[in-house]
Structure formats: structure tokens, C-alpha cells
Chains A and B, each alone.
Chain A
Amino acid sequence: MNLVKINADRCKECGYCIKFCPKACLSKGDKINKRGYYAPVFDATNCIACGTCARMCPDTVLSVYKDVE
């Protein structure tokens, strides 16, 4: 399974990662982070590790990893 790591405390809830993910792997979480925002949560099921979410994020919240096995 591909992986998107989320550094939740950096998130400012702009929504870009959720909007631009082509596979709808990200959605708004329900935990408020230290800055008062809802960081996204990741569902690996359909993730293709395209990296779009990380590239659209203004705050380097996301890191993307491809399962190479």
C-alpha cells in the first residue's frame, strides 16, 4: 500500500490536498490540531502515490511514499 504521512500540526485546513487528490484518498479529519485546524486523514485504499497532495500543500504537511514491492 502506498503511504501519505501527515504532519497534522502543520496543517492550516486550506483543503487543497483533499480537492486535488485524483483518487479521493484524503478527507477532513475530526481532530483539531495545535493551531486549531482540522488536518486531513488518509485512506490508502486507492492511493497511486502521484504526490499531487504534497505538491499542492502550501505547508509541507504531507509526504508521499510509493510501495515498491
Chain B
Amino acid sequence: MGEKVFMQGNQAMTESAIRAGCKLFFGYPITPSSEVPEYYANVMETRPEEGVMFIQAETEVAAFNMVAGACATGHRAMTATSGPGFDLGQEAMSFMSAGDIPAVIVEVQRPGPGDGEILAAQGDYFSAVKGGGHGDYCNLVLAPYSVQEMCELMQESFDLAQKYCNPVVLLTDATLAKMRESVELPGYKEAPDPKTVPNALTGCKGREPHKMATCGDGAVQWEEFNARLQEKYARIAANEVRYKEYNMDDDPDIILVAYGSVARVCESAMKLAREEGIKVGMIRPISLWPFPDVAFEGKRGKKFLVVELSAGQMVQDVKLAVDDKRDVHFFGKLGGTTPSPKVVLGEIKKLL
């Protein structure tokens, strides 16, 4: 581990990416993620020993495709964006998953739909987790809830992307991105030699040529191609489920379900409830895809209160995971405001 600092989420996360050997950043400024390209630009000028290459792409469409090209060479590269920009990258997300390209995409959610607002939101769950692109593909989606977790998951994203040869989306939000917290920055981790990355385009000296192509060759071949992708996703689903449980030891009847910044609020609400003698626990999904179904199995007769900064997106996956979807309740906030712990406590009390 590195040094302990008081640092902004976006900046700490970016420093962590650089320390994980991600020297290439291609991106387009968009609030609330612009500190990421700015940080990379700064490091390129002030810390030349890091060997960072930053390009401000003309559009997010271009940025995602630059990341695709760079990652296809076995080097680590990433982009950071928000909802509107992530939307523009959807064709590329489908393409990169199909092409086994180990790209890392940071999505700092802000309220939509449309141009929207620039505070915290969680309305891009569908587009990240279900995928806004065409065809049958999956993103590995990780959701931190603190600056510390942003840093750690940022570094892990590169390992996971290259382990599975699939894009990884680090799904965060404006609150986490802009807040400053005490964080122990991760240390430097060496990126693998590009020549050791599967199918990397490094020039074919001493080996068979590598091709990155996602074009079908008739239905039979394309079905086989898809079967191979499905097998890849099954492997990710079998191995990368992550979630955290809070206060579940005494078998509480009310279970909060939340991810990202609003999980912080729920954590506080849970404490307030406990102080009043209400037994409340919490499940915090950290992998949104693969969704931690296993965390919800066998919990009959419980009341799940899903809290999201949206009209209700993750709640659908909770309903799919539980035994009886009538056990699932929802509280959402739209527009960019975040509820206080007292408000969430009020919602908990409605279930009593």
C-alpha cells in the first residue's frame, strides 16, 4: 500500500489507475468525470517518469474506440465518462466484449435522462449492467461506495479485464467522484508484458498472427462464436460475485439493499434504526454484473428495501433474486438529490 492522503474520489481513483500501469488515457471531458482526464494531462506534463500518454479525444465515440485499439495491443488503457458519454460508447462496449478486448471504462453517473443534471444519480444501472449495446454480451460491473473502494476496485479492474479478456465498467457517481475522503492510496502494481496478454496485437514476430475481428462468417460459425462468449460470461459469473453484508448476524427482518453513494446513506439509516431498536441489516452489491443473487437466496419472509437514486433499476434484479418478489420494496430519488439517513429511516419505519 501507498501513502495515506485526503483526496478527491476522481483524483485518487486516477492516481490508482496510473499506479496499476494504466499509462494510456483517451477521453472526452464530461461532468462529473473531467478530473480524470485533467489528472492524466497533469501527470503527463509534471511526472514524465510515469510515461503517461493522454489524448483528449474528439468525442466519446472516438475515445472508446481508441481504448479498444490500445487495449487490443495488450497495453492497459481506459476512459472515464458519464451517462451521455457512456451512451455514445455502447456500440464499442458490444464490440469490445465480442472482441475479447480488456478495456476499462469508468462511468461516473449523473441524473438523466437527456442532458440532465450533474449531481449524483444511479439511473445508468440498466445501461451498464444490462448493456446498452446490441447483441448478447456482458460487462463486468463493479460499484464502489467510498474513495478507498474506488481506488482498490480501479486497480482490480485492469487485472479482471485482462484475466477474462472482457471490458470492465467501474460504476460510480458524482458524489463519490467529487467527495474528498481519507484514503490509503494503493501502491504501484506492474502491468503484464503486452506480449503475454491473450491475442494481443504486438506484431507477429515469432508467433502466428493475431486478429481482432468480430465479424460473422455465416450462422453456424456465428453461433459457435457466441457460444464461446457465453462460456466466457459464465466463467465471470461463477467467479466474480461480490457483495458485503452489514448487521445480518441477528437475522434482521428488514434488509436494506443499496450500492454506491446511497449505500453510505443507508448505512447511517441502518445505524439510526438500530439505535431505536429496529433490527435492520443491509446487503451492498459490489459486483452489479454478475449480480449477487446468492446473497438473496433463502431469505424468506424478509422485507427488502431497495434504495436507489433512480426510478428503480437494481430493484428489478433484487426481485429476480429473491424467493418472493412481494417481499421487495423500493424507495428512489430522482433529479440529483440524495436522501438523508433520516428520510431512509422513515421509509424503513413504513415497513414495520
In the complex they form, whether A and B have CB atoms below 8 Å apart is answered with: no
* Interface residue ranges, A against B (CB under 8 Å): none
